[in-house]
Amino acid sequence: MSVAHAPRPATAAEAAPALLEVEDLHAFYGKSHILQGVSFTVGTGEIVSILGRNGVGRSTTLKAIMGDVPPRGTIRFKGQPIAGLRPYAIARRGLGYVPEERAIFPKLTVRQNLALGEKSGRREPRWTYADIFRLFPRLEERIDTPGGVLSGGEQQMLTICRTLMGDPDLIMIDEPTEGLSPQMVTRVAELIGEIAARGVAVLLVEQKLTIALKLSRRLYVMGHGHVVFEGAPDALMANDAVRREWLEV
């Protein structure tokens, strides 16, 4: 299916070399062909969202980039190929990943979970414990509480903040607002904006269209394992056909 492109001039971020480049990405679960030639880019400091209905391959795209699902195709991060590397090797190159299932360590405290995200031997980190606690004072209040007894929203905060402690240059976040209260959704959205403001690129999979439109510089819409639209938020809002066919229930 052809991709609907929005006619617009290239931004400075798009003119510069992309931080993440994905070309003709395929992925399988057994014999099921989930990703069928996905291509997109993320520039330095950009927030880029991947939208679409459940089951179209959005989460699988992140897992394939991170090496959790075997990828076929080209994936370049900072100009270097990473397809086929182990997840820990990809993470060490500066690519962070927040999975949909959060994946905290329930028996470890908040402090211990955050410490597991730290990397040694890198530059002066962009994120410190003080930064994390300024954004989410509740985590400091519960610093010695086991992760497993936190609320869903607190666990989501902890997962994102643990990934930030590794000082990624790009962070991929899968459905961060799912199941959260409206107040917590607002807090998570503020954090994502803060992440980008510090020069960290964000690749966001998000079900809530309003959040994606508010935060993103560019949007990709997926359908049946393909990218069916790429453009700015205004272009998506102006394209009723794409929204009706690929996003609306």
**Which pLDDT band, with edges at 50, 70 and 90, does 124 fall under?**
confident
The better pLDDT of the pair 227, 184 is held by 227
First to last CA, the chain: 20
Render pLDDT for 193-218 as a digit per residue (tens, 0 to 9): 999 998 999 999 998 899 999 999 99
**Predicted local confidence at residue 136, as pLDDT:** 85
Evaluate whether 17 touches 201 at the Cβ level (below 8 Å): no
What pLDDT, on the 0 to 100 scale, is given for residue 147? Answer: 95
Number of domains in the chain: 1
In a domain, 124, yes or no: yes
**What tens digit of pLDDT does each residue of 6-44 get?**
434 344 344 456 999 999 999 999 999 999 999 999 999
Confidence of residue 125 (pLDDT cuts 50, 70, 90): confident
CA distances from 64 to 39, 43, 85 (A): 12, 19, 10
pLDDT band at 90 (very low <50, low <70, confident <90, very high): very high
Q: Which residue range forms the structural domain that includes residue 205?
A: 15-246
The answer to the question of residue 3 being in a domain is: no
pTM for this entry: 0.89
Position 17 scores a pLDDT of 65
Residue linked to tokens 């229930």? 249
CA–chain centroid gap for 69, Å, is 16
User: For residue 121, what pLDDT is reported?
Assistant: 62
* Domain containing residue 137: CATH number: 3.40.50.300
Q: What is the pLDDT of residues 162-189, one digit of tens each?
A: 999 999 999 999 999 988 889 889 988 9
Any domain includes 2: no
> In this predicted model, what pLDDT tens digit does every residue of 133-154 receive, in sequence order?
988 888 999 999 999 999 988 9
Q: Is residue 152, in this structure, part of any structural domain at all?
A: yes
The number of beta carbons lying within 10 Å of the beta carbon of residue 82 is 19
- Evaluate whether residue 9 is within a structural domain: no
Can you give the three-state secondary structure of the chain, one letter per residue? Answer: CCCEECCCCCCHHHHCCCCEEEEEEEEEECCEEEEEEEEEEECCCCEEEEECCCCCCHHHHHHHHHCCCCEEEEEEECCEECCCCCHHHHHHCCEEEECCCCCCCCCCEHHHHHHHCCCCCCCCCCCCHHHHHHHCHHHHHCCCCEHHHCCHHHHHHHHHHHHHCCCCCEEEEECCCCCCCHHHHHHHHHHHHHHHHCCCEEEEECCCHHHHHHHCCEEEEEECCEEEEEECHHHHHHCHHHHHHHCCC
Residue 124 backbone zone (phi > 0: left; psi -120 to 50: alpha; other: beta) = beta
Q: Which of 243, 246, 223 is nearest to 36 (CA)?
A: 223
Q: Is residue 148 part of a domain?
A: yes
The average confidence (pLDDT) of the chain is 90
Residue 219 has pLDDT above 70, yes or no: yes
pLDDT at residue 127 in the model: 87
The lowest-confidence range among 12-21, 107-116, 161-170, 238-247 is: 12-21
Structure tokens at 159: 């997962």
164 belongs to a structural domain = yes
Query: Is 58 contained in some domain?
Result: yes
